Amino acid sequence: MEQIMHCVMDIGEEMLRSGAEVRRVEDSMERMFAAYGARRSDVLAIASGIHVTVVSAAGETLNQTRRVRTVSNDYGRVDALNALSRRICAECPSAEEIRAVLRGITERKESPLWRILGGIFGSAAFTVFFGGSLMDGLAAGVISLAFSASELWLRRSHMNPVVYSFVWSLLMGLAAEVCVRLGFGANADSISIGCIMLLIPGALMTASLRDVLLGDTITGALRLSEAMLMALSVAAGFGAAILIFAGVK
C-alpha cells in the first residue's frame, strides 16, 4: 500500500498541477485507494497542496503531504490522468506499471509553436476588434511574438506570478508606445488592449468560481485572490508605462 500511495499521490499532484478541480482530485484519489483495498482514505486537496491519510487492509495508517507550487492549465494532461485513474480502479496494476504510464503522460510535451501562434493571432485580433487598425494589429502581433517566445524561458525560472505579470505588462505597454512613436501603428491604447489580453487571468478566475460553486470555498478563495492580485499587477504595469511616456512628452 505504501508504494501504491506514492503512485496515487503522484497522480493527484499532477492533476492539481495541470488545473483539475480539487473535487476531482480528491474523488479520483479516494477511488484509487479503495480499489487497492484501503479500509478508509481521507484526502484534503487545496490549490497549493494535498494531504492524505490512508488505513490499509492490514490496519496500517499511512500519511503523506505534497506541496504543489506551480499550477497551469493543461486539460489534455488532466484527461490523460483521468483515464489512468479509471484504468487503475478497473485493473489494479502494479506500482511499476503505474509509474511507467504516468511517466509517459508527464514527459509528453506539446509543440510551443501553437502557443506562440495563438498569442500572435489572439492579440492582433483583439487589437483590431477594439478599434485598432491593421497596422496596430501587426504591431501587437510582433510584441506578442516576443512575449510568447520569452515566456517559454521565463516560466522555467518559477518567477512569482504577480511579479511576472507586472514586468511583462510594463514591457508591453512601453513597447506599444515605442511602436506608435516610430510610426509602426497609430493607437497605443488599442495595441496595449490587444497585448493585455494575453495576461488577463481569466482561466484562473473561472476556476476559482467553479471551486466555490462545487463547495470548495478555501481553494476558490485562494485562486480568486491570486487572480485579483495578478489583474492588479497587470493594471499597475500598463499604468506605469503610460506614466513613463507621459513624463517623456
Angle at 159 between CA 171 and CA 99, to 5 degrees: 135
Rounded Cα gap, residues 189 and 185, in angstroms: 11
pLDDT confidence of residue 132: 84
Residues 6+ away with beta carbon under 8 Å from 62: 1, 2, 5, 52, 53, 54, 55, 56
Band of residue 247 on the pLDDT scale cut at 50, 70, 90: low
The whole-number average pLDDT for the span 45-62 is 89
**What mean pLDDT is predicted for residues 220-241?**
89
Quote the pLDDT of residue 155: 61
Cβ-Cβ contacts under 8 Å for 131 (sequence gap 6 or more): 187, 190
Instruction: Name the pTM for this structure.
Output: 0.76
Q: Where are the beta strands (DSSP E) in 3-60?
A: 40-46, 49-55
Q: What's the mean per-residue pLDDT of the chain?
A: 86
Share of the chain above pLDDT 70, in %: 95
Tell me: pLDDT of 33 over 90.
yes
Beta bridge partners of 42: 53
In this predicted structure, the answer to whether residue 249 has a pLDDT above a threshold of 60 is no
Cell numbers 510535451 label which residue? Answer: 109
